Structure 1
């Protein structure tokens, strides 16, 4: 049995207007994909009006709580004493959200309780993953 962690977090969406709108995003961690976390934003918070989910490294989130991290589409950095800034970059533009650092630390601690950092590789089934990539459904081809 696999335990999955889902944690709602309050975030403030930074926009050009001086007022930041509050949204509830959801952090998600599944030990079956032990290196990754997902952050889902509800449809009302997006330009297209559809739910958006970003997947990124758990290690990026963890490190970004203490110092700026990320070179690609997702960047995380501390902001003041109690907030963390998360930037999500796409061809359509960049979304910047502020999240309470304490909420993020609770989430990271919960993920580490399930799969300790540095032990993720023990959760992987490389044979199964390779078979899935190769399109092997478990049946052998006996043609000659």
Structure 2
């Protein structure tokens, strides 16, 4: 450990796909933080507030190239190569959104500038995470 804290962020406008209409714009703040070097957070801002989804940085990277994910978050290239498709599922419902591929790739590149792929274990404090789990019991 002992590495200096690093982060990257980007504001991207996603499109919420709806039936029979053009996608509705949704402002999304993408966040990457070296304190949790394996994760990306997407904060979706809507009229009802902010909904935060956390998923792996590898899932985002893989989803730019091929369909990825088999849980609550699935990411894949769109039929239009300039778009990436996000499928989100929660107990309260599901959403399909599209996002500009170039902006996602640029954010991902900035995250790798902060913590290169493969260097995540050098930044992740396993002992601190285990301690958090021990106090939750």
TM-score normalised per structure 2 = 0.90
Aligned with 1:34 (options 13, 34, 37): 37
SS of residue in 2 equivalent to 1:42? strand
**Displacement of 1:75 after TM fit?**
0.3
2: CA distance, partners of 1:128 / 1:19:
45
Q: Does the CA contact (< 8 Å) of 2:26 and 2:46 recur in 1?
A: no
Render the CA deviation track for 1:98-131: whole Å, top value 9, x for unaligned: 1000000001100101111111111112222222
SS of residue in 2 equivalent to 1:70? coil
Q: Does the CA contact (< 8 Å) of 2:77 and 2:84 recur in 1?
A: yes
Q: Runs of at least 4 residues of structure 1 off by over 3 A?
A: none
In structure 2, the residue matched to 1:140 is none
2: CA distance, partners of 1:112 / 1:84:
19
Q: Does the CA contact (< 8 Å) of 2:65 and 2:77 recur in 1?
A: yes
For the aligned residues, what is the CA RMSD?
1.5
2: CA distance, partners of 1:50 / 1:10:
16
Asked if 1:22 is matched to 2:25, the reply is yes
1: CA distance, partners of 2:67 / 2:106:
19
Structure 2 stretches lacking a partner, 5+ long: none
In structure 1, the residue matched to 2:66 is 67
**Displacement of 1:134 after TM fit?**
2.0
Using CA pairs below 8 Å that are at least 6 residues apart, which structure has the higher relative contact order?
Answer: 2
Q: Larger Rg: 1 or 2?
A: 1
Which structure is higher in strand share? Answer: 2
